[in-house]
A and B are shown apart, each in its own frame.
Chain A
Amino acid sequence: EAEVAQSPRYKITEKSQAVAFWCDPISGHATLYWYRQILGQGPELLVQFQDESVVDDSQLPKDRFSAERLKGVDSTLKIQPAELGDSAMYLCASSLGDREKVAQYFGPGTRLLVL
C-alpha cells in the first residue's frame, strides 16, 4: 500500500540553527499539506500545495519558515532559525485533490526537538 514518506523521523537541533524536513507524497497526489502538531493538540495546517503552487500559507510563520514543492512532487519545509517553541511533530499529508471528502493520507511525521 502506498504511503507518504517523511525524513528524518527525528531531529534534535539547537536554537538559531537551520532545519529541513522532506516529504514524498503518494504517487499521483496533487495536493500536499504540511502540519505542525504540538504535544497534546491536534495538527495545525502550515501550508497547502496544489501541484507546485501554494494555495494556503496563512498560518505559516514566514519570517522563519519556508516551504517549496518545485516540481509538484516532493516537498521541503525549512525553519531558519529554529526557536524553542518550534519543538513539535511536523506532519506531511497528501490527497488526490482538494475537493471536499477527499481523504488526506498522513506520513509518519518528523519529531523536532529544539534545545
Chain B
Amino acid sequence: KNQVEQSPQSLIILEGKNCTLQCNYTVSPFSNLRWYKQDTGRGPVSLTIMTFSENTKSNGRYTATLDADTKQSSLHITASQLSDSASYICVVSVGGATNKLIFGTGTLLAVQP
C-alpha cells in the first residue's frame, strides 16, 4: 500500500531556531517528492519538488533532502520566523500514473516569540 508518514506530528520551536521535519514513504513506483506548506484555513502551497536523481533542493530558508535508497526525506527550516507556523505536508507522486499524489498527514509547526 502506498503510504507517506511524517514525524513529528507537531513541533514547537522558538523564533530564530532551526528545525528538521521527517518524511518516510513507501510508494511504488516513485516519481517525485514534494513539500507543501499549509497555513491554517488555507490551501497548501508548494515549497519544493524533487525527482529520484535530486538529493537536495532549497527554497529560501527551506532546504529539502531526499534519500531514494532509504525512502526518506527531510525539510530543514533555518532561522525560523513566526510566519513559518503552519502545517508542512510531504507528498509523493506515483510514477506512471496521471499525477496521482499520496499525501502525508503533516507536521504542525508552531514558532513562538
The smallest beta-carbon distance between B33 and chain A, in angstroms, is 10
Chain A: interface residue total (CB-CB under 8 A): 30
**Chain B residues at the A interface, C-beta cutoff of 8 Å:** 4, 31-32, 34, 36, 41-46, 49, 51, 89, 91, 93, 95, 98-101, 103-106
Query: Separation in Å of the A75 CB from the closest CB of chain B?
Result: 15
Q: Which residues of A contact B43 (CB under 8 A)?
A: 4, 91, 93, 106-109
Could you list 8 A-B pairs, sorted by A, with CB under 8 Å?
A41-B106, A43-B44, A43-B103, A45-B101, A100-B31, A100-B95, A106-B36, A106-B45
Bitwise interface map of A from 24 to 46 toward B, beta carbon under 8 Å scored 1, else 0:
00000001000000001111110
Q: B51: which A residues are within 8 A, CB to CB?
A: 101
Contact with B along A92-103 (1 / 0, CB 8 A): 010101111111
A99 touches B103 (CB 8 A): no
- Give every chain B residue within 8 A of A105 (Cβ-Cβ): 46
- Please name the 6 residue pairs, one residue from A and one from B, whose CB atoms are nearest each other, closest first: A42-B103, A106-B43, A98-B98, A100-B31, A98-B99, A106-B44
A95→B99 contact, CB < 8 A: yes
From DSSP, what is the main secondary structure of chain B's interface residues?
strand
8 Å CB interface, A64-103 against B: 89, 91, 93, 95, 97-103
- Do residues A42 and B99 form an inter-chain contact, with CB atoms below 8 A? no
Partner among A4, A45, A50 whose Cβ is within 8 Å of the Cβ of B100:
A45
Does A14 belong to the interface (CB within 8 Å)? Answer: no
Residues in B neighbouring A42, C-beta threshold 8 A: 4, 89, 91, 103-106
* CB contact between B32 and one of A45, A56, A100 (< 8 Å): that residue: A100
Q: Which residue of B lies closest to A109 (CB)?
A: B43
Closest to A100 in B: B31
User: Contact: A56 with B101, CB < 8 Å?
Assistant: no
A4 to B45, CA, bound (A): 11
Tell yes or no: A104 within 8 A of B by CB. yes
Most chain B CB within 10 A, of A93, A104, A105, A108, is at: A104
